[in-house]
Amino acid sequence: MTLFARRKRFSFHDQERVLKKLLERARHTSFGKKYHFGKILSSPDMIRAFSEHVPVYDYDSMYREWWVRTLNDEENVTWPGRVKYFALTSGTSQASSKNIPVTGHMIRAVRRVGLRHSFALTQMDLPSGFFEKRVLMLGGSMTLNRENNHLTGDLSGILTRTLPIWFHGYYKPGRSIGRETDWSRKLDRITREAAGWDIGIISGVPAWLQILMEKIIDHYGVSTIHDIWPNLRIFLHGGVSLKPYRSRLDRLFGKEVVYLETYLASEGFLATQSELNAPMKLVVDNGIFFEFIPFNDRNFYPDGNLKPNPEVLSLREVEDGKEYAILISTCAGAWRYIIGDTVRIISGRDFSITITGRIKHFLSLCGEHLSVDNMSDAIEELSRQTGCHINEFTVVGMPYRNRFCHKWYIAMDETRPAEQVKEWLDGNLKRLNDDYAVERGHALSEVFVHQLPHQAFYEWMKMKGKEGGQHKFPRVLSYDQHADWENFLRSREWLNQQQDKA
């Protein structure tokens, strides 16, 4: 079923127009002057000239050379004027926070995508009066931190704080609860007031939405969330794969709910789902210019770091079925910026994609090339095999007896025989990934599986100050994270002596 009855037919020319507009607006900034945006604009092949003259940036290089000046309230650095808002994000792989500029142009671009979602819903077969219902947006706090002349905080908090006035009457949990900085108190307050709201749409990260709905169901002693919100029809989600959460979420609903995926990163609104049971499509006409780096050994080191002089392709040049790391140039002053996500191109003609993971959230110690997408599929199958709801998992790869091993930590509140779980998981991964199957007979000599309660994952997030909002548990742990994680598990006695030896 198509959500947009009369949706615009997008083309590659939309990307050319986006790049031209970005270059024109930023040509007199410090960045634009250094890289001669004026000359690029006058080039007969603007896209090629842009890729030849402007280097690829990651966060560290962009911050050290440019964004630190923006944070010091300097104007016209990578985008015209001063930046009022910065989204704080550590992703799921870094310990220190990143400061991502959020300009007025970007806020308006995000709103435009939101309005497209609203129009899409009008084309669906929804009950009469649905658009009078409220929208529950479960995100970060609207209370932001003031530093010099700018404000910092969670992107969802920034976007909620800057909602247009006409939307305030529809927004839940409302501005008072939205300003709450303590995540546990926020969930408690939402739960106490939930019965008085007529919710039609909920949006957020699947794990936290699940926790909230379970809390509400338990508080009111009902069977499903529809006993509290009978008009709930739309579940907007993003940030992580829905696969590990889907079976449990389905049990929380008493009526049919439409799941719609969005790809809203701290750097911008990259893609949306425009058809039911279909993949997301890149938003190619709205302030973001896309480029793609083939995600392979030619361009990336085994640890996920980018090699010098990578191959970079335009949207015209990508191949269906191939996996790429995304580069974006945006109306928030990011230029040829590697966002850290990997996607698989489903169709280059209609810009449809699926998110496969992060450039540093995959395992390839010895050529097994295991992506987060593979992991999620394997865990989804393991959930069926064990009859357990598995919402969270993480894995680390490490040396083991002159070869290598993978150590898995899987949230299973009801434990199952350890060897059987290991056999099922290992078999699932072998079926999903030929490289993994080959290496399991060679360099990847062992797989360890630790079964943990879900509480272990959520308490670790809370301890790290990453409870709620857009925070997700890392699917692949770095060595430093792994040591910290195991120390935490030992301190809470979630690893027994036998597991500790693994």
pLDDT digits (tens, 9 = 90+) for 48-68: 999 999 999 999 999 999 999
Tell me the average pLDDT across 339-365: 88
Alpha helix stretches (DSSP H) within 5-139: 12-26, 30-34, 37-42, 46-53, 59-62, 68-71, 104-122
Q: What pLDDT is recorded for position 412?
A: 94
Report strand pairing: 280-282 vs 352-358: antiparallel
Q: What pLDDT is recorded for position 57?
A: 97
Tell me the average pLDDT across 132-143: 92
Q: What is the pLDDT of residues 198-224, one digit of tens each?
A: 999 999 988 889 999 999 999 999 999
Q: What is the pLDDT of residues 356-390, one digit of tens each?
A: 888 877 787 777 888 888 999 999 999 999 999 99
Q: Which of 239-243, 354-358, 373-377, 495-499 has the least mean pLDDT?
A: 495-499
Does pLDDT of 344 surpass 50? yes
Q: Tally Cβ neighbours within 10 Å of residue 139.
A: 21
Does pLDDT of 445 surpass 80? yes
Residues in the chain: 502
Q: What is the pLDDT of residues 69-81, one digit of tens each?
A: 999 999 999 999 9
Q: What is the pLDDT of residues 13-48, one digit of tens each?
A: 999 999 999 999 999 999 999 999 999 999 999 999
Does pLDDT of 94 surpass 50? no
Q: What pLDDT is recorded for position 371?
A: 85
Does pLDDT of 122 surpass 90? no
**Positions of E strands within 240-282:** 258-265, 268-273, 280-282
- Exposure letters 168-181 (e unless 16+ CB within 10 A, then b): eebebbbeebbebe
Q: HSE-up of 391 (CA within 13 Å, CB side)?
A: 22
Q: What pLDDT is recorded for position 213?
A: 97
Alpha-carbon gap, residue 439 to 273, rounded angstroms = 36
Alpha-carbon gap, residue 4 to 186, rounded angstroms = 35
Statement: 1-360 belongs to CATH 3.40.50.12780: yes
**Of all residues in the chain, what percent carry a pLDDT higher than 90?**
67
Does pLDDT of 249 surpass 50? yes
**Residue 100 token pair:** 């991502």
What is the Cα gyration radius of the chain? 23
The helix (run of H) or strand (run of E) holding residue 135 is strand 134-137
Alpha-carbon gap, residue 148 to 426, rounded angstroms = 52
Q: Tally Cβ neighbours within 10 Å of residue 271.
A: 27
Alpha-carbon gap, residue 65 to 81, rounded angstroms = 18
Does pLDDT of 303 surpass 90? no
Contact between 471 and 481 under an 8 Å Cβ cutoff? The reply is no
Alpha-carbon gap, residue 105 to 117, rounded angstroms = 19
Instruction: List C-alpha distances in Å: 475 to 16, 93, 148, 219, 352.
Output: 35, 9, 35, 31, 24
- Amino acid occupying residue 137: M
Query: Where does the chain hold its CATH 3.30.300 domain(s)?
Result: 372-500
The pLDDT mean for the chain works out to 90
Does pLDDT of 7 surpass 60? no
Contacts of residue 387, defined as CB under 8 A and 6 or more positions apart, other chains included, come to none
Confidence of residue 237 (pLDDT cuts 50, 70, 90): very high
Does pLDDT of 112 surpass 80? yes
C-alpha angle with apex 433: 432 to 436, nearest 5 degrees?
130
Q: pLDDT: is 80 or 128 the higher one?
A: 80
Instruction: List C-alpha distances in Å: 388 to 83, 381, 384, 448, 449.
Output: 47, 10, 7, 19, 15
Query: Where does the chain hold its CATH 3.40.50.12780 domain(s)?
Result: 1-360
Confidence of residue 502 (pLDDT cuts 50, 70, 90): low
- Amino acid occupying residue 158: I
Does pLDDT of 93 surpass 80? no
Q: What pLDDT is recorded for position 1?
A: 40
Global model pTM greater than 0.75: yes
The closest of 263, 260, 252 to 235, measured between CA atoms, is 260
Tell me the average pLDDT across 320-340: 96
Q: What pLDDT is recorded for position 295?
A: 92
Does pLDDT of 137 surpass 90? yes
Alpha-carbon gap, residue 59 to 75, rounded angstroms = 19
- Exposure letters 69-105 (e unless 16+ CB within 10 A, then b): bbbeeeebbbbbeebbbbbbbebbbbeeebbbbbbeb
Contact between 225 and 233 under an 8 Å Cβ cutoff? The reply is no
CATH architecture of 372-500: 2-Layer Sandwich (3.30)
Alpha-carbon gap, residue 101 to 120, rounded angstroms = 29
Does pLDDT of 4 surpass 80? no
Q: What pLDDT is recorded for position 497?
A: 44
Contacts of residue 352, defined as CB under 8 A and 6 or more positions apart, other chains included, come to 278, 279, 280, 281, 282, 345, 346
Tell me the average pLDDT across 472-494: 90
Q: Tally Cβ neighbours within 10 Å of residue 373.
A: 21
- Amino acid occupying residue 396: V
Alpha-carbon gap, residue 429 to 284, rounded angstroms = 34
Contact between 233 and 200 under an 8 Å Cβ cutoff? The reply is yes
